[in-house]
Structure 1
């Protein structure tokens, strides 16, 4: 590490983990607009009306030498080594950790941004569903892990609602055959109506337009995909076509080595594993590695191996999908109570891992 002024941008899984570990012995400035941590992997629970899990950042940073500047980053001056914020601050750095993560990708679908709810706004989703008519319809767009978990949770918590799950491909299509079969059985049991290979073409105040025709809905929740924050590309960092910062084996920007990128913001390729996917499972280890590197300065290259993927399918069912080190599917799965407990244990461990 060069210099002493360490600035971390972003208070997601990667940013918090990096700041809390580095803050054990180094002075760190954390810049993020939130006052509470956004626990994305539990957002579906909040949306369904269960207790919200959003600890205060002050609680997570307690006992660490971390100053939280509550502001949004508006510009980076990579030449001068400064971060500019919407509060008018200009913060100088010697080492910058770029962990601004990802945001909902609206995929240029007309009306989606105006009429659909971002899945990350779980509390607003909960309020909108509570205000929906009795026996109304909620449409969840996205057949990946987030959409599948959300549809299952909503259907179980609100059996009077009609939950429609739309996917451009197959729901659970990324899983092994046994894993996908279990997810489909669980959704069918909960009464979720699936629309596979159905592309949404527009969203309006009364519902969706799809290639298969219109679908009326009182609430539309967008859980289709995520895209990196655009600031990296705008600032002149070398990025991929998707907008992730290209980094070396130490998670340093290949164009600006005083800048490190972690979490969803970074394109990280590990030998023997490949390019890591976005998500908490990879963001948290990156943050832990970076925090230790900032603190001690002697860490070797970043390494990572996948072990499993997990889904909650309501409060009484779940799936633990065993994967290879490269995230390839293995036929072995744990379902039902075993899957649910595995998912619950992993999620509960995330908060402790942040510190």
Structure 2
């Protein structure tokens, strides 16, 4: 009898893992996701400013692969009964489980964020923000990570009638090289983005943000791009998780507490071979999906799976539609001085984004993406 593999979550990592596992004729694969549309999260800042970003159905991306697709929300996992509980449907039994439920914005990080701020984690978030932007005025983006930088750049370029401010708890572009930081500052100056560095938000209010030093920054719209949270499903089910609720996995991406369960993507606490934690990104999720697919099929065939060996290559940051920053990094993700900027970098970033989507249809492309690499 074919082994029943259930994959939870149809994000960048989940779709690839399901399709690659399904290539093994000894498996029967079920993919479960709360929505029937694929969320191209790396383009949500484009959706927010009104650019046309085509929606794809997950059924379209599965494109005839032998994967049963179930649209329902996962509410529980019973590891003793080997069952996944759903909101509407009957429980789904599994022989092997791949946990890829992803992450969302942490709107409970400070008081008022859930009530007054606008996250950018999904299309619904971006659509809601787009409607709010039509009111005009000042927009404050909270968070100096890649999402915040991309959002502030896109807003300032596409909606020049808005006053755009970025608030970051550290230095702008702290993870970049000196050349990268210089380019980022030049672009922000050209676009007119105000930057508040070393500024921590203590509260979000209807009329702006209150900083921990007592200052109030007025804003008509607050965009929340800092912090994350993962579903509490793994913790509630009794799996070993870290302080954020991400499933703790070994070097093959298998749960350290439940050997018939694997985790990939944002909801997994995975590490490089040197013990460094892998950051939450497509650059991590896609290679991890390919690796876990091989690991699952190897174990089913009685082969000893290889461990994950992973290195980073670059970070790609869009700065509007006509500029970008490609920061080359060492294997551990620390920055080199080498960067690409300008129009060529923008084209490169667009190539990477399109490649991440193309990999959903053709998972073999994962080995060709230059954002990160995985080998065993």
Report deviation, 1:261.
Answer: 0.4
Q: Which runs of 5+ in 1 are unaligned?
A: none
Paired residues for 1:17-28 under 5 Å: 17-25=16-24, 26-28=27-29
Report deviation, 1:272.
Answer: 3.6
Report deviation, 1:229.
Answer: 2.2
Report what 1:250 is aligned to.
252
d(CA) in 1 for partners of 2:176, 2:229: 22
Q: Does 1:275 align with 2:273?
A: no
Paired residues for 1:273-352 under 5 Å: 274-295=276-297, 297=299, 298=303, 299-352=305-358
Report what 1:228 is aligned to.
230
Report deviation, 1:334.
Answer: 0.7
Report what 2:180 is aligned to.
179
Report deviation, 1:126.
Answer: 1.4
d(CA) in 2 for partners of 1:224, 1:53: 26
d(CA) in 2 for partners of 1:223, 1:345: 24
Q: Structure 1 residues 180, 53: CA separation in 2 closer, same or farther (over 3 Å shift)?
A: farther
Aligned 8 A contact 1:46 1:53 in 2 = no
d(CA) in 1 for partners of 2:310, 2:67: 27
CA deviations on 1:39-95 (whole Å, 9 max, x unpaired) are 111111111111124311010112111111111111111111000011142110000
d(CA) in 1 for partners of 2:241, 2:297: 27
Output the TM-score relative to the length of structure 2. 0.90
Report what 1:14 is aligned to.
13
Higher relative contact order (CA 8 A, sep 6+): 1
Stretch deviating more after TM superposition (274-283 or 150-159): 274-283
CA deviations on 1:271-299 (whole Å, 9 max, x unpaired) are 14722111111011111222333445455
d(CA) in 1 for partners of 2:194, 2:16: 38
Report deviation, 1:3.
Answer: 6.5
CA deviations on 1:106-163 (whole Å, 9 max, x unpaired) are 3531110111111112122112212x13xx1111110110000000001000101001
- Secondary structure of 1:5's counterpart equals strand
Aligned 8 A contact 2:175 2:334 in 1 = no
Q: Which runs of 5+ in 2 are unaligned?
A: 363-376
CA deviations on 1:209-248 (whole Å, 9 max, x unpaired) are 1235112222111001222222111111111122221111
d(CA) in 2 for partners of 1:229, 1:33: 12
Q: Could you tell me which of 115, 127, 147 is aligned with 1:123?
A: 127
Stretch deviating more after TM superposition (138-147 or 99-108): 99-108
- Indicate the RMSD between aligned Cα atoms, in angstroms: 1.6
Aligned 8 A contact 1:273 1:325 in 2 = no
d(CA) in 2 for partners of 1:178, 1:88: 53
d(CA) in 2 for partners of 1:7, 1:285: 19
Output the TM-score relative to the length of structure 1. 0.95
Report what 2:165 is aligned to.
164
Aligned 8 A contact 2:72 2:89 in 1 = no
- Secondary structure of 2:310's counterpart equals coil
Aligned 8 A contact 1:39 1:53 in 2 = no
d(CA) in 2 for partners of 1:179, 1:50: 27
Report deviation, 1:342.
Answer: 1.5
- The count of aligned residue pairs is 351
d(CA) in 1 for partners of 2:345, 2:4: 44
d(CA) in 1 for partners of 2:330, 2:69: 38
